Amino acid sequence: MTRILFATSEVYPLVKTGGLADVSASLPEALCKLGYDCQILLPGYPAALKAARDAGSRRKIRFRHGQYDVSLWQTRLPGTAVTLWLVDCPALFDRTGDSPYQNDDGEDWWDNAHRFHLFGQIGAMMAAGQLDLSRRPDIVHCNDWQTGLIPVLLGNVQHPPKTVFTVHNLAYQGLFSHETFRALGLPDYLWRYDLLEFHDQLSFIKGGLVFSDAITTVSPSYANEIQTPWFGYGLDGLLRHRSPQLIGILNGIDTRIWDPAEDPWLDFHFGPGNLKNKAQCKARLQQDMGLEVTGAPLFGFVGRLVEQKGLDWILAVLRPLLESGCQFAMLGAGQAHYQDRLQELAREWPQQLSLTLGYNEGLAHRITAGSDLYLMPSRFEPCGLNQMYSLRYGTVPVVHGVGGLNDTVFDPEDDSAANANGFVFREPTPDALFKTIRRALEVLAKRKAWRQLQENGMAADYSWRQRAREYGDLYQRLLADPYSIHDD
Ligand code: ADP
Ligand code: GLC
């Protein structure tokens, strides 16, 4: 049985800032169901250790590592049979607040480099079989910059396991100063433009991109995009160089948690071929969010309020849409200037725009279910999960045709009616977004055509079943012949 150690800085439901947490829970579980022995490695944040203690789990080993007391806890990811290892290092991970990366004022922890360096060191020791644990993995699967040093540190080990590095978001690179590089005690030879140095900074993500045996990213379109200067954030040259080892595998979603027929967060349920109750979900959502209960087109938005998600484009089109009677149910948290401008508009249009600031799992489900359209005009989107949740809930997405949005949403203007499930604009401008929304609203007025879009969205398979198999095939190819990871 192939053994995988899946190293990540977030996992649902223990700690989450975005889609990485969802993927880090549902992909390992899907791999286990396919017969892989996939175990997760996560920093021992307070919420995770509490869950482990509550489950009666114990610390497996305890040791001194440099200046730190470290222990490893072995537990299970709540609600699953998946083994979860926690790197307990109170000096680095016993912090207040819900964010794994920031303090209560929204600033990055000053010692993030130290925190994720230690996490990487312990991950590499586990992977190399240097800790007193019986299991040594065949594959270490790393995710995003927080795990980028693991493939680097494994470079000095004899017969290391194969390493896979998944880019969930190239915009977050883990950049730190040269002093930090020295303070971490990383060997001097790594300070090179083709190794860890990036414009005179230490780049954690380059560790993963340079040193891993295979690089994956979370959609085929994003795999192509990051090899171009526009989306490559200065790393496109390196990614082009590594393109023989780079592939895009589309994320799946947890179809048990996101199932309109069973969703415990909803009062009314519906599904393919039976959309009657969706109208009830809409009315309940309007009531709950203080919107006028009418048949007006209702747009949903759930997400981080950051530039990536196209917030400035949304702000540019909101007013005319509000003037024409549309409603908006928005949930998110992020940059203060977006929050402030949305709040102003919500005050001005209380019956048409409702904004809930913060993180709210239940409301996210109710917005997904109750909206007619889902707004996702991301400037870039490695994969995106919300458009897939929406499709499954008969909520028609309006998206910018980039990354995973391009791979999951099909516009009637580009595709056959039998395939179309949403609306896609290509030009990166608010004007293009506005025109596409107008087009969507025209179709919304035609019951039958709209229904067809909804049914097409609901009929597709967004589960991990097939997509996890693609990771499985990659692991097998890597173990058989590390120089040929593409199957074509
Ligand atoms: P990203 O990882 O870039 O933020 P994704 O679409 O991959 O985008 O995943 C975002 C995940 O986080 C989804 O599961 C989404 O529902 C969830 N999410 C984001 N913001 C909130 C919020 N304010 N409340 C509840 N869930 C949220
Ligand atoms: C990142 C990306 C998002 C992707 C998620 C999970 O946060 O921004 O597009 O869906 O990771 O892979």
Domain ranges of the chain: 3-252+465-480, 276-462
Report which protein residue has its CA nearest ligand 1's atom 18: 303
Q: Name the E strands within 44-189.
A: 58-65, 68-76, 83-88, 139-143, 162-167, 175-176
Does 23 contact ligand 2 (Cβ within 6 A)?
A: yes
Domain 276-462, CATH 3.40.50.2000 — does that match? yes
- pLDDT, residue 484, reads 63
Average pLDDT over residues 262-271: 98
Average pLDDT over residues 340-369: 97
Q: Of ligand 2's atoms, which has the minimum distance to the CA of residue 171?
A: 8
- pLDDT, residue 258, reads 97
In the reported structure, the alpha carbon of residue 240 is separated from the centroid of ligand 2 by a whole-number distance in angstroms of: 21
Q: In b/e form, how buried is each residue of 315-329, taking b as 16+ CB within 10 angstroms?
A: ebbbeebbeeebbbb
Average pLDDT over residues 339-343: 98
Average pLDDT over residues 187-198: 98
- pLDDT, residue 340, reads 97
Q: In b/e form, how buried is each residue of 348-380, taking b as 16+ CB within 10 angstroms?
A: ebeebbbbbeeebeebbbbbbbbbbbbbbbbbb
Q: pLDDT (tens digit, 9 = 90+) per residue, 210-262?
A: 999 999 999 999 999 999 999 999 999 999 999 999 999 999 999 999 999 99
In the reported structure, the alpha carbon of residue 219 is separated from the centroid of ligand 2 by a whole-number distance in angstroms of: 10
Q: pLDDT (tens digit, 9 = 90+) per residue, 388-429?
A: 999 999 999 999 999 999 999 999 999 777 899 999 999 999
pLDDT at 368 over 60: yes
In the reported structure, the alpha carbon of residue 386 is separated from the centroid of ligand 1 by a whole-number distance in angstroms of: 7
Lowest mean pLDDT among 26-35, 54-63, 133-142, 277-286: 133-142
- pLDDT, residue 483, reads 66
Q: pLDDT (tens digit, 9 = 90+) per residue, 148-176?
A: 999 999 998 999 999 999 999 999 999 99
Judged by its nearest atom, the ligand closest to the C-alpha of residue 388 is: 1
Average pLDDT over residues 318-326: 98
Q: Do domains 3-252+465-480 and 276-462 have the same CATH topology?
A: yes
Determine the distance from the C-alpha atom of residue 408 to the mean position of all C-alpha atoms in its chain, rounded to a whole number: 15
Q: In b/e form, how buried is each residue of 43-54, taking b as 16+ CB within 10 angstroms?
A: bbbbebbebbee
In the reported structure, the alpha carbon of residue 33 is separated from the centroid of ligand 1 by a whole-number distance in angstroms of: 25
Does 263 contact ligand 2 (Cβ within 6 A)?
A: no
pLDDT at 487 over 70: no
**Higher local confidence (pLDDT), 159 or 143:** 143
pLDDT at 145 over 80: yes
- pLDDT, residue 355, reads 98
Helix (H) or strand (E) holding 172: none
The percentage of the chain sitting over the pLDDT mark of 70, rounded to a whole number, equals 99
- pLDDT, residue 474, reads 97
Q: Of ligand 2's atoms, which has the minimum distance to the CA of residue 20?
A: 6
The highest-level CATH class for domain 3-252+465-480 is: alpha beta
Does 25 contact ligand 2 (Cβ within 6 A)?
A: no
* CA max distance for the chain: 67
- pLDDT, residue 482, reads 63
| pTM (predicted TM-score) | 0.96
